[in-house]
Structure formats: C-alpha cells, structure tokens
Structure 1
Amino acid sequence: MVSFLYPIKKLLKKGLGSRRPAGDGGKPPAPLSRSLDDTLRTVKNALGGSADLVIRRFAIMMNRRPHPAAIVYIDGLADPKELLESLLADSGDMQEILQSAEDVEPVQLIRQYLLKIGQINGVSDLSTLYHAILSGDTCILLNGASEAIAAGTGAAKDRNISEPASQAVLRGPREGFAETLRTNTALVRRKIKNPNLWMETRRIGEVTKTDVAIMYIKGIANDKTVNEVRMRLDRIRIDSILESGYIEELIQDETYTPFPTIFNTERPDAVAGGLLEGRIAILVDGTPFVLVVPALFTHFLQTPEDYYQRADISSLLRILRYVCLFIALFGPAAYIAVTTFHQEMIPTPLLLSVIAAREGIPFPAFVEALLMEITFEILREAGVRMPRTVGQAVSIVGALVIGQSAVEAGLVGPAMVIVVSITAISNFVIPSYNMGISIRMIRFPFMILAASFGLYGILVGAIVMVLHLCSLRSFGVPYMAPFAPFIVEDQKDNIFRFPRWAMLTRPRYSSDGNLVREKDRPPRKPAP
C-alpha cells in the first residue's frame, strides 16, 4: 500500500510545485516614469479607476521654481491629514530652506525637510507603488523624479485587544492577538524587551501580497531551524494567503497524518513562552492566530496557565488531561470490545445490569456507539456554527433530549449514552482544538477495530498509531520528543511540571547551545 501511494504523492508534489501562480509571471517590475501625468494615468488604469482612489495634485516651491506633485492614497485605508499639513505648511523658515537648496534633489528635500512622519520609504517601481497604496500608505509623486515616497499613514480600523475566545484561562493575561500584524508584533515585544528578539518580514501571495513575519530570539533559537523556516516560506508559490492556516498547510512536514505538527495560538504569552524555549513564531497579517514551530505532541496538552499555577496543581491538571486523552480515544472502543467479545472481564453484578439494560436493543454495541457518536458530532458542530447566545443551549438541551428519547425508544442502552457522554466531555479537556479534532477522527477507526477483533484490534491499532507518531517530525525535531527519543533532562516540563527553581535549562531539542535558563541560586538560609 505504501509503495503504491508513494508515486502518487511524488506526482502530486511535482505537479503542485511546477504550477505557476497567478500574477506577473516572474517579469521584472516596471520602473516609475519621470512624467507625473503618465504615472498617474498608469495607476488609474491599474486600479480600474476605483472610486476610493484619491489623487490630490499640488505644487511645491523648490529651487526657486514650482514643482508639480501629487499624493495618491486609498480612502479608508490611509489618513493623509498629517502628511498634507507637512507638505502644504507655509513656514517662512521652511520656505527659505527649500528656496536656497539648489543642488539637492526634490525628493531628498521633501524627505529631509518637509515630512514629519516617521515611516518613510522610497519607491522606484510600479509593483512597489501599488503595494504601498493598497497597504494604507500615502505615496508622493513628483514630476521629473524617478522615485516616489511612501509615507506610513495607515488608518485601517483594528479590533480592540480582547481575551482570546478559544484559549481562555482562569489566571494569566487577558489579552489576545488581533488581525493587524504590527499590533501582534508589538504585543510580543511587550513581553520580551530584548534586542535579540529579531523579526523578518516577507510578502507571500502573488495576488494578496500578504505580510508574513518570522520572530525568534537570536542566540536561543536553533539557526538550522530558522533557516528551514525561511526556506519553506520562500518556497511558497501561491496567489493568496488569507489566514495562517494557508501557511500551516504549505510548510508542515507531513501532510498525510491526522495529527497537527504546527502549533497555533492567539495568546501573546504562549508565543513569548515558545520563543524563550528556542521556538520560532510565524505571524500572518489578517489573522489573530500565530504559528509556533517546532511543535511536539506534548505542546498540544499544555496551556500557559500551567506556568502561572503552583507546580503541584499544574502537574495534577496535566495528568488529568492525559487521562482524558485516553478516555476520549479508547472509551467507546473499549466498551464495544468488552461487551461484544470479553464479557468475562466484567464483574457479574455489573454484567447482569448491562444485560438487563440492553434487553430489547435491536442493534449491536458498535451500531449503538456509531449512532450516538454521529449524533453528538452533529450537535457539537451545530453548537459551534449557531449564534453564540443560543449555541450552547441548543447543544446541551439537544444532547439531553435526544439521549433520553433514544433510551426510552429502545434504540440505545443507557450505558452507551453514559460512555459516549463521558467521551465527549473528556475531548473538551484537551486544550488544543486541532488535537481534539484529531482524537475525534481516530476514535472511529478504533471503534471499527474493537467491533471486529475486540481488545486485540485496539492493541494493534494503538501500536500502529504509536509507530506513526514516532515517525513524525516537526521541522526536523522528533514529534514525540522527549518521550521518543527519551530525554531525561527534559522530563521536568513534560507530564509533570517541576517547580520553577528546578527548571534551570531549556529543552534540548529546540535551543541552539544556550540551554541555561536561570543561573544557580545561592543556597537559601532558614528563616530566623
């Protein structure tokens, strides 16, 4: 089967890699014309004469003669009020400087003496000009100049910083990422005020030109992993990037796996914690979800709140999550296997109770579980998609009514309703939504194996799943580390969280030689 799928996977990758995206076809960008009228005409034609395109013509007195100029911006994306005040100011000292500067280019005079805005960039080609205008910048064009000026005057409305809806905590920061890239990078820099926090930005998407940023701490992050992230991002050839999920699917190590190999979060403290461990953050403009790589299996069962509580409380909660993981994965399958093939494992009083409850049920245990699981999945998806005010009520009331009605109608037994309900609740304990969906998907194959071969089928399926997990990589790092390979030093922050004073080193799989997180403290003196 593997040998049959391999050429198909190779053919798919080859076909996807050779397909050219929509865009300019790789042609070099066209330079700006020295004629102001020609440039403005080209911009109008390129944007289709859009109604929100604003062109304001004026003249600037420089070198004792007027210079025709114009500003171009998109109404609603840019706010050029401050820029216009700078350009059209009637200051005697400023005019004297402009009149006496005879050997300086007009563009340089404007950049050095007129503009009071901090973010100013030069534009020398049409492609850069279009991107600047459509990004909210205001572009200044001068007649006779081969270079324009892009001033940062973005005025797009941004959502207020609020608590993340998908990753709420009882103790910890209540702020979450927004949809603006600069807001998100600022939230991370507020957490880590260190000059070694480096950021690189690139544009991905031939049509959307989406800004994507890479953040890492120089000296802590592994240079090989950083280069791998750069290479995978630069290798993307696609017409649009609308959400970080596009990037996640294009740069992940393994496509044919139900388990997520890239961690996503909308909490700045979770990203800061990952950066301090040597991991790399990928931020995409237009979405509050930030990608963090490399991502291991244990990361999807941890929350930022684990580091804000005491070590014993955090360890207990982590153990509870692992227990719920096994219940969500093997609960219905174990019930099917025991009631169908291994009744001798059930105590006699409990077995008699189960038999009495199942009396008159027309379906086998597997069909019961399948019906109830599909029903709960429908209710869960309906609760997510419905309006927030009625979504939870519909899902809870629907589960109670349907479960009770199914038992009274004799379609399923009450024991099966209890097992499926506990399984569904245990699935909600898993902090990561991606990992929760993976567990829900794998639960059905285990139910089929249990109905076919009993506990032996579950055991074989578990072995295959563990072998698959051990074969996965996340940017070159083993997915099951520090379990496989087993790293003794990294067990201090795995299933158990050791006290803060015992976590002196960073994880060995991600940091680049800088393992020391905290220097040894002097011995504590007993209180008098």
Structure 2
Amino acid sequence: MFSKLLRKLQFLKTANNSSEEIKPPFNLKPRNTGISKSLAKNYEKISDIFQDASDIVIREFSFGESQQDALLVHIEGMTEKNIINENILGSLMWEAKKTETDKKIEIESIKNSAMNVNDVTEVQTMEKAVEGILGGDTAFFMEGYDIALLMSTRTWEHRSVQKPQTEAKVRGPREGFTETLRVNTSLVRRKIKDPNLKMERMKIGRRTRTDTYLVYIKDIANDKIVEEVRRRLNRIEIDGILESGYIEEFIEDNPLSIFSTIGNTESPDKFAAKILEGRIGILVDGTPFALTIPLLFIEHLQATEDYYSRPFLSTVSRLLRLLALHISLFGPALYVALTSFHPAIIPTPLLVTISAAREGTPFPSFVEVLVMGIIFEILREAGVRLPRPVGQAISIVGGLVLGDAAIKAGLVGAPVIIVVALTGITSFVVPPQADFLALLRIPMIFLAASFGLFGIVWGYIFILIHLASLRSFGVPFMSPLMPFVWQDIKDTFIRAPWWKMNKRPRILRWQNLQRDSVRVKSNLKPSPAQEENGGEDNDQ
C-alpha cells in the first residue's frame, strides 16, 4: 500500500518537473468536424450537439431580395439581445431589403458590410463554432458556405468592482478583482499602460474550457520563466477549472510542501506591482484571485501599503510582522517547553504566578495548549463560514465564554488562555497568504513536549533547511537571504525609500534591471534661479 502511494507521489513530482511536450488539454476530440455547405445539415449537427439544452436559441430566417437562408445560434442569458436584434437581424432582414438587387449576397460582404458588430471572426470547424457559442458569441451559418461567422455579443450578470475582502489596507486603491475576466484585464491595463504588457489567452479544462490569461511585460520578464509557465499550463489535464487554486497545485515546483511557492492576490495594484518587477501573472475567469510567479518567502511579510507609506513606518511594520510570525509559530511551543522542561529559566515571581494559576488543573500544559489551540481554530473556522455578523459574534463571544468557563471549571489555567489568545492575534498580523502557520504550530508543540527547547531549535533548523531547498520556477524561495544578495536587502525586512530602489531584484534575473521611472538622485544641485537668490526659489 505504502509503495503504491510513494510511486504515485513520485509520478506527481516527475510530472510537475518534466520537460516533455504534451498536447494542450482543451481539445475534447482530436478530429475537427468541418462545417457543411448545407444549412439543413448544420442545423441537424447543432441540434444534436445541444440536445436537451433549453437555453440554446436557434433562429432560422431569410434575408435579401433573393431570400437567402441563414441560421443564427446563441445561448440565452450569455448574449446581448439588443445587439442581436438590431445590429445583426435588423441589418440583414431590414437593411438588406433596401438594396435593389436580386443577386445573392456573399458571406464576405455580410462580414465586412452588413454586421454592425465590433468583433466578427470566421471559423471553419464545427468545434470552433460550438466553442464560440458556449463562450457567449453568436454563430451565423449561411446556405452554400462551409464557414461560419462568430460575432461578439457576450454579456452576463457580474459583480461590480468592490474592496478586496482578504487584503484590507489603510492607504491605497480600494478596488479589487471580480469574477469577470474582462473586468480584471481592464483593471490591469488601467494600471500599466504599456504596449509591451502581453496577455496570452488559453483555455484550460476539458469540460469547462476556462479562459486563462498569462500576463507579463515582454521586455522585463525572463523569457525562460515565461516559456516554462506557458508549458506547465498547457500540460494541465483536468475536466474543469473553477478557481485559480486548481492551477496553482498543478504548476508549482513542490506540490508536497506546506509552503506555497506561487503567490495570490485579489488586489489589482499589488498584481500590477509584481508585473512591473518582472514577475508573471495568471488571471483565471470566474475568480477574483490572481496568481503571481515566482513567489519569495519574504513576500509573506510585505503588504501593499508598505509602498504607499513612509519607509520608516513600513520598516517598523515589517519587523512587527516578523515578530508576530515567530510568536504565532513558537508561542505555544515555548510555553510548553518552559513549564515542562526548563522552569528555571522563568523568573521566580512569574513562575509562582503560573504555578498558582495551574494548581488543580487535571491536564499537563501540553494537553492544555493543544486542546485550546484546536478549539481556537474551530472557532475561527466557524467565524469564517457563518454570515459575517453572526460569525463575528460567535468567534468573539465563543472565545470569551469558553475561555472563562474553562478557567472557572479548573480545566485549564489562565496562562494557557493568554498564550492561545496571543497566538491567534499575532496570526492575524501576518498576511493571509501565510497559511502555513496553523499547520506548523502543532508539530512544534509536540517537539517541545518531547524535547523541550532543544526540540524547538531542531524544528526551527528543519524548517529553515526545507525553506532553503525550495524553488519557485527556478528562483530560490529564501532569496535574497539564502543566497545572500546585498543589493536586494533594501526591500526585505526593511523598506528603503523609492529613490534608493532604482533596480529590480537581481536574484530574479530579469532582462531589464533598471527601473526607468526612478530618476531621483540624492545629490541634487540648486537651479540657476535659486543660486541667484541665495538658494531660495522665486515661486511663491
């Protein structure tokens, strides 16, 4: 049994790192069915493909003085009826009658002159036509022609641009990505008005055929990484993609690690900042969360508003996040180790207080911390899943009531409640992408209960070794700390002023390291007008 499991895990790792070319997964059938010149046969094919689909609209009509037969196919609810009625049917059935000719109208003339639609494309296969119909386009078939016209009539209900729900900020843009891909691409285009910003479209998922965009700036991003991301996306074989998390698990370097090596965000300004640094982004239709590649560990301590505030305040905030990360990870384990193995390290007055608080409790500190930590995680999960007003009440009131009741009943000591509460609060200080804290906290408690402070040190070393071994599309996960790159330290635990960050990260090996927009120099000389006035400016 275990050998089979190991073989499967090895196959998964090999599949993620393989360089073999695999055909794109979004072709349901290898063959391409051509469009017939007979309108009746095309009608029969369409009816057979969309059998028992009540939302498919198939409109047969004739137009022109010669009464040429045609077919219009679209999905109700995904298309704009006014465009179909006025710009397509109205142009063909009404405007064509005004032409005083009995000659047959060519389909090329219809495409170039009759359709009042912005985007009209020709397709030669029924698969392409069906794909366009499922995507919200309207397909036009005409008697005597073995091609079809796809007209862009897409429209559907979508959520308006709102604040990001997971990335609250004090200063900075308030807009967030939505579930509509075109809205998300427009938000990125508004931030980066550069013709070198490329958005490559591909469809992933055999059944869902989800639109996915590969986003990067051509003269900044590393071409090798772009090609690797493109290759891994094309290798995905699955029946459906409903969220960007599906893609994240398929393309990451270390699928068995608890540390994610692919970033995610629902904030357009953060996404644009990553793209400007030379990273590659992935936008997926149907989700407000975009992916950024590669990801560095130091990004778990960075927030978007760090770059909008003063550098001194941003540096202090990052150091506080680093402290909060260590407290959240090692706080319960340290309490267990000190009370169980090393009470001599604790100051005597504090040790007396802790001993008095724990007097009469039936369980050791290890069991107290473990149980209360699990209860806290349950309360937090309940607060997330329930409606927001109810969830907040349950998470706050539940924690107070259960903690107070547990102390009065003598099940746990008051210091344990303080440690667990402090651990929970500090976990909220770290950005939500650092979801590995809850998973590592329990193993650290077990190590502390077994070996004391030595177990915590061994666990810390093991975590650092594992982090140093990780790669995100070939880039060391712990850079610029391991390996150490002095030039990139200016944007790690500290945030240097913008006029000092005039180069992009060296460790990422981008094409263009110089930030073209950073031109401020510290040794500015006074202007001639200021020199004449003794160093003062004329402007009032």
Task: Please state if 1:314 is matched with 2:309.
Answer: no
- Structure 1 CA distance for aligned equivalents of residues 52 and 125 of structure 2: 20
The aligned residue for residue 366 of structure 2 is: 366
- Relative distance call for 1:98 and 1:190 in structure 2 (3 A) is farther
2:57 aligned partner:
54
> 2:412 is paired with a residue of what secondary structure?
coil
Equivalent in 27, 32, 47 of residue 30 of structure 2: 27
Asked whether the equivalents of residues 80 and 138 of structure 1 are also in contact (C-alpha less than 8 Å), the reply is no
The residue that corresponds to 1:297 in the other structure is: 297
Alignment partner of 1:128 is 2:131: no
Determine helix, strand or coil for the equivalent of 1:167: coil
Q: Distance in 2 between matches of 1:137 and 1:90?
A: 18
Tell me what 2:70 maps to: 69
Instruction: Report Cα offsets for 1:113-169 as digits up to 9, x if no partner.
Output: 011211112122121111111111111111111111111111211110000111111
Structure 1: gaps (5+ residues):
none
CA 1:57–1:358 in 2, change beyond 3 Å: closer, same or farther? same
SS at match of 2:91: coil
What do residues 486-522 of structure 1 show as CA deviations (whole Å, max 9, x unaligned)?
A: 1110111111000111110011133523111145435
Provide the rounded CA distance (Å) in 2 between the counterparts of 1:118 and 1:92.
20
Q: 1:171 to 1:408 in 2, by over 3 A?
A: same
Deviations 1:70-90 (A, max 9, x none): 211111111142233234338
What SS does the aligned partner of 2:67 have?
strand
Q: Does residue 36 in structure 1 map to residue 35 in structure 2?
A: no
1:48 is displaced (CA, Å) by 1.5
CA distance in 2 between counterparts of 1:20 and 1:362 reads 62
- CA gap of 1:459–1:292, structure 2 versus 1, over 3 A, is same
Match of 1:223 in 2: 223
Contact persistence 1:277–1:510 (CA under 8 A): no
Q: 1:468 to 1:15 in 2, by over 3 A?
A: closer
Matches of 2:26 and 2:485 in 1, distance apart?
48
- 5 Å-filtered alignment, 1:53-202, equals 53-61=56-64, 65-87=66-88, 88-89=90-91, 99=101, 106-202=106-202
CA, structure 1 residues 341+228, in 2 after alignment: closer, same or farther (shift >3 Å)? same
**Is 1:442 matched up with 2:449?**
no
Distance, in Å, in 1 between the alignment partners of 2:205 and 2:472 is: 24
Letter in 2 for 1:320: L
**Residue deviations 1:243-291, cap 9 Å, x none?**
1010001101101111111111100001100000000110001111000
Shift in alpha-carbon separation, 1:324–1:82, aligned structure 2, 3 A: same
State whether residues 188 and 268 of structure 2, in contact with CA within 8 Å, keep that contact through their aligned partners in structure 1: yes
Paired position in structure 2 for 1:249: 249
Cα pair distance change 1:510/1:66, threshold 3 Å: farther
- How many Å apart are 1:348 and its aligned residue? 0.9
Q: 1:297 to 1:4 in 2, by over 3 A?
A: farther
TM-score under structure 2 length normalisation: 0.92
Distance 2:410 2:23 in 1: 58
Name the counterpart of 1:267. 267
SS in 2 for 1:300: helix
Q: Give the superposition deviation at 1:3.
A: 11
CA contact (8 A) 2:61 2:69 kept: yes
Looking at structure 2, the residues matched to 92 and 425 of structure 1 have their Cα atoms a distance apart, in angstroms, of 68
Per-residue deviation, 1:106: 2.0
For residues 99 and 213 of structure 1, do their structure 2 counterparts lie closer, same or farther at Cα, with a shift above 3 Å needed? farther
Is the 1:161–1:176 contact (alpha carbons within 8 Å) kept by the matching residues of 2? yes
- Provide the aligned C-alpha RMSD in A: 2.5
Displacement after TM superposition at 1:66 (Å): 2.7
Matched AA of 1:89: S
Letter in 1 for 2:451: F
Q: CA deviation at 1:381?
A: 0.4
Q: Which residue of 2 aligns with 1:521?
A: 520
1:468 aligns with 2:466: yes
Q: Which residue of 1 aligns with 2:529?
A: none
The 1:351/1:86 distance shift into structure 2, 3 A limit, reads closer
Provide the secondary structure at the position in 2 that maps to 1:215: strand
Letter in structure 2 aligned against 1:305 = E
- Which sits farther off after the overlay, 390-399 or 75-84? 75-84
Shift, 1:434, TM fit: 3.4
Name segments (4+ residues, structure 1) moved above 3 Å: 2-8, 11-26, 89-102, 518-523
- What letter corresponds to residue 451 of structure 1 in structure 2? A
Give the C-alpha shift of residue 28 in structure 1: 1.5
Q: 1:188: Cα distance to partner?
A: 0.1
CA contact (8 A) 2:63 2:97 kept: no
Query: Does the 8 Å contact 1:83/1:117 carry over to 2?
Result: no
Partners of 1:92 and 1:457 in 2: how far apart? Answer: 83
In structure 2, distance between residues paired with 1:68 and 1:411? 83
Q: Which residue of 1 aligns with 2:532?
A: none
- Would you say the 8 A contact 2:63–2:96 is kept in 1? no
Partner-residue secondary structure (3-state), 1:500: coil
Q: Which amino acid aligns with 1:86?
A: N
Distance 1:483 1:57 in 2: 67
SS of 1:65's partner is coil
Equivalent residue for 2:480? Answer: 482
Q: Which moved more, 1:517-526 or 1:178-187?
A: 517-526
Matched ranges for 1:197-216 at <5 A: 197-216=197-216
The equivalent position to 1:507 in structure 2, one of 492, 505, 515, is: 505
What amino acid is aligned across from residue 504 of structure 1 in structure 2? N
**Cα deviation code 1:330-356 (max 9, x no counterpart):** 000001001110111011111111111
Amino acid at match of 2:71: A
Instruction: State the partner residue of 2:456.
Output: 458
The CA deviation at 1:423 is: 0.4
- Distance change in 2, residues 1:93/1:440 (3 Å): closer
Cα separation, 2, equivalents of 1:168 and 1:106? 57
Q: Contact 2:301 / 2:430 at 8 angstroms: preserved in 1?
A: yes
Residue number in structure 2 paired with 1:331: 331
Structure 1 letter corresponding to 2:106: P
Q: Contact 1:21/1:239 (CA < 8 Å) preserved in 2?
A: no
What is the rounded CA distance, in whole Å, between the counterparts of 1:169 and 1:476 in structure 2? 32
Task: Pick closer, same or farther for the CA change 1:412–1:504 going to 2, 3 Å.
Answer: same
Q: Do the aligned residues in 2 keep the contact of 1:220 with 1:511 (CA within 8 Å)?
A: no
Read off the aligned partner of 1:420 and give its amino acid letter.
V
Bigger drift between 352-361 and 3-12 goes to: 3-12
Alignment: residue pair count: 521
**CA 1:285/1:91 → structure 2, altered by over 3 Å: closer, same or farther?**
closer
DSSP 3-state at the match of 2:113: helix
Identity, in percent, stands at 46
Q: What secondary structure does 1:509 align onto?
A: helix
Amino acid at match of 1:43: I
2:407 corresponds to: 407
